[in-house]
Structure 1
Amino acid sequence: MTFSSLGKTFYLNNETLIMGILNVTPDSFSDGGNFNSLTAAFEHAKKLIADGAHILDIGGQSTRPGHIEVDLETEISRVVPIIKKVSTELNCIISIDTYRYEVAEAAIKAGAHIINDVWGLQKDSGEMAKIAAKYNCVVIAMHNQNSKIYDNDIIISMKNFFKTTFKVAEENGMNINNIIIDPGIGFGKGYEENIEVLNRLNELSFIAPILIGVSKKGFIGKPLNLSPNDRIEGTIAVNTLAVYKGAKILRVHNVLEHKKALSIIDKIIYFNKNY
């Protein structure tokens, strides 16, 4: 499967793609404050690409549990300078991690290629979908909800959510073939819900290609009461399962470790296609 977005092309065939996380925020749960200067952010961007990231996901507002929402101008001022510098000086695909259509458009004008929307095109009244249609760009649409309570089977609920995402996209002129879905692990889900969704991830694979974002999240640390930076092995374990269950893109903090793991995982998963 081939995706083209604002001059960049990527393939979801016989290789799992790695999306490296670059949070230019003071309060993200794992790396908040580490890269919120332009110099530090750019150095980390270079490292992520050198380590093997195919995509950089740049975010200017934390969406961790209990986060404080920043104003529009602050978010734009955080992401636009680093996107401009990366797009000018590094040869990579850039994703903007935002649910605000104004930020998405500013990021695209600065050089971003993909919109990563944690509300799956459903936070506004179609404005984000209109921006994606205007620039004919790829959208990663994440499942989300305010509550952790599900009246229906959780996978049925998620399928219904994504039906709405595709409806919003189509009604606002988007190419629905430009959508990649994210089950939203840790968003609107507790420990048991996260585990169930990962166990049944293959039930979502027919909707669209799947991106999975579990890197260092709380449910991974829960069994051994581990802090975020002690969850690397658990993250790789979960991502290995996710690839087996159909995930095509992994959104991670630790790119090099995943690159090494995928060097054998992909050989096994795609054995019949490669040999």
Structure 2
Amino acid sequence: MKHSNYRLQCRDRELDLTGQAKIMGILNSTPDSFFDGGSLSTGSRTTDIDRAVEKALKMVEEGADIIDIGGESTKPGAPKVDAEEELHRTLPVIRELRRQSDILISIDTYKAVVAEQALLAGAQIINDISGFSFDPNIATVCSRYRAAAVLMHTAGRPGNMKWSHQTQTADTDILDRVKNGLLDCTQNAEQHGICNIILDPGFGFGKSVSENYTLLRHLHDLHVLGRPLLVGLSRKSFLGKALQKHPDQDIPCPEKRLTATIAANAIALTNGANILRVHDIAEATETLAVAASANFS
């Protein structure tokens, strides 16, 4: 399924989604990300920044169109990080990456103060897991700087979510709940004069395993909202659940979910995903190339 009418203004740049889908690379500047947390930490502040930027530039080389930089883990049960610490983790990376590259940069935050400082440092997109609901002031910041916005559907805050939520029985109205939630987010953003909006159904955020797969299967239905769709499936626990051979065994860890991620991303592309948010750029680029050759992207 192709959707070829989306062009978004991201401050001084255009994100053209009229052709092939795009890839957003995940750069976690955190010690506790569920997959790559702490992988950039060396104990030396300068070295950590250099390594983060080096990783981002490698992502660009491998085919990333956007680099999404976050300073607070949003995995279920993750503790809150104050704005000062989040800025300490992200701003130097954004500044140095912007100095070395003109790649589109997204700031993964729900805090207005962090979003504003990131935009001043060179970011062009705000990626808010709360859809502008945790900190209402972030919508004003987004509008003021003419940034594009990724608005995600979530059920509760990360600190209140538990891994057990991923195995609950699915509700039959998951599509309606996500549609209505994203519609509310969109209308709120539009009331603030924001029109460059990307929607994220929020895979893995307060949703059961069955609900996640229902969303993946019916992703194309969300295009009724008239906005491009971003999917964040990369190494999520519900993919690991599908790999579990016996109910009494542990779910395969994130390091063992790459193949499942590739499969899920391929399904998402056939169902109308416009942006893939991933840890593994080279593999996503190849997935995208095959999907495009089959006219699914």
Name the TM-score class by shorter chain.
Answer: over 0.9
Cα distance in 2, alignment partners of residues 151 and 243 from structure 1: 25
Cα distance, 1:127 vs structure 2? 0.9
Asked whether the equivalents of residues 116 and 141 of structure 2 are also in contact (C-alpha less than 8 Å), the reply is yes
Asked whether the equivalents of residues 136 and 174 of structure 1 are also in contact (C-alpha less than 8 Å), the reply is no
Cα distance, 1:244 vs structure 2? 0.7
Cα RMSD, aligned residues only? 1.6
Q: Map of 1:254-273 to 2, 5 A cutoff?
A: 254-269=280-295
Cα distance, 1:156 vs structure 2? 1.0
Whether 2:224 is the aligned partner of 1:206: answer yes
Of 215, 221, 224 in structure 2, the residue corresponding to residue 197 of structure 1 is: 215
Deviates more, 1:71-80 or 1:3-12: 3-12
Cα distance, 1:123 vs structure 2? 1.3
Q: What is aligned with 2:173?
A: 153
Of 244, 250, 254 in structure 2, the residue corresponding to residue 228 of structure 1 is: 254
With normalisation by structure 1, the TM-score equals 0.93
Cα distance in 2, alignment partners of residues 158 and 263 from structure 1: 29
Whether 2:182 is the aligned partner of 1:162: answer yes
Whether 2:32 is the aligned partner of 1:27: answer yes
Cα distance in 2, alignment partners of residues 69 and 175 from structure 1: 27
**CA offset digits 1:102-150 (Å, max 9, x no partner):** 11001000100000000011112x3111111101111000000127688
Amino acid at match of 1:141: L
Q: What is aligned with 1:217?
A: 236
Of 58, 76, 99 in structure 1, the residue corresponding to residue 87 of structure 2 is: 76
Q: Work out the number of aligned pairs and report it.
A: 268
Q: Which runs of 5+ in 1 are unaligned?
A: none
Q: Map of 1:167-186 to 2, 5 A cutoff?
A: 167-171=187-191, 173-176=192-195, 178-186=196-204
Cα distance in 1, alignment partners of residues 53 and 107 from structure 2: 15
Cα distance, 1:59 vs structure 2? 0.2
Cα distance, 1:270 vs structure 2? 5.2
Q: What is aligned with 2:49?
A: 38
Cα distance, 1:223 vs structure 2? 2.5
Q: What is aligned with 1:94?
A: 105
Q: 1:118 to 1:66 in 2, by over 3 A?
A: same
Asked whether the equivalents of residues 220 and 234 of structure 1 are also in contact (C-alpha less than 8 Å), the reply is yes
Whether 2:62 is the aligned partner of 1:51: answer yes
Asked whether the equivalents of residues 153 and 181 of structure 2 are also in contact (C-alpha less than 8 Å), the reply is yes
2:230 aligned counterpart, secondary structure: strand
Cα distance in 2, alignment partners of residues 255 and 18 from structure 1: 8
2:224 aligned counterpart, secondary structure: coil
Cα distance, 1:13 vs structure 2? 1.7
Amino acid at match of 2:112: Y
Cα distance, 1:152 vs structure 2? 6.8
Asked whether the equivalents of residues 3 and 10 of structure 1 are also in contact (C-alpha less than 8 Å), the reply is yes
Cα distance, 1:90 vs structure 2? 1.2
Cα distance in 2, alignment partners of residues 64 and 159 from structure 1: 23
Amino acid at match of 1:229: E
Runs of 4 or more consecutive aligned structure 1 residues displaced over 4 Å after TM superposition: 147-152
Of 6, 22, 43 in structure 1, the residue corresponding to residue 11 of structure 2 is: 6
Cα distance in 2, alignment partners of residues 174 and 144 from structure 1: 23
Q: Which runs of 5+ in 2 are unaligned?
A: 1-5, 42-47, 244-250
Asked whether the equivalents of residues 128 and 151 of structure 2 are also in contact (C-alpha less than 8 Å), the reply is yes
1:216 aligned counterpart, secondary structure: coil
Cα distance in 2, alignment partners of residues 66 and 167 from structure 1: 29
1:96 aligned counterpart, secondary structure: strand
Amino acid at match of 1:98: T
**CA offset digits 1:57-96 (Å, max 9, x no partner):** 0000000011111111000111000000001111200000
Of 117, 124, 141 in structure 1, the residue corresponding to residue 151 of structure 2 is: 141
With normalisation by structure 2, the TM-score equals 0.86
Amino acid at match of 2:184: T
Aligned-pair identity (%) = 40
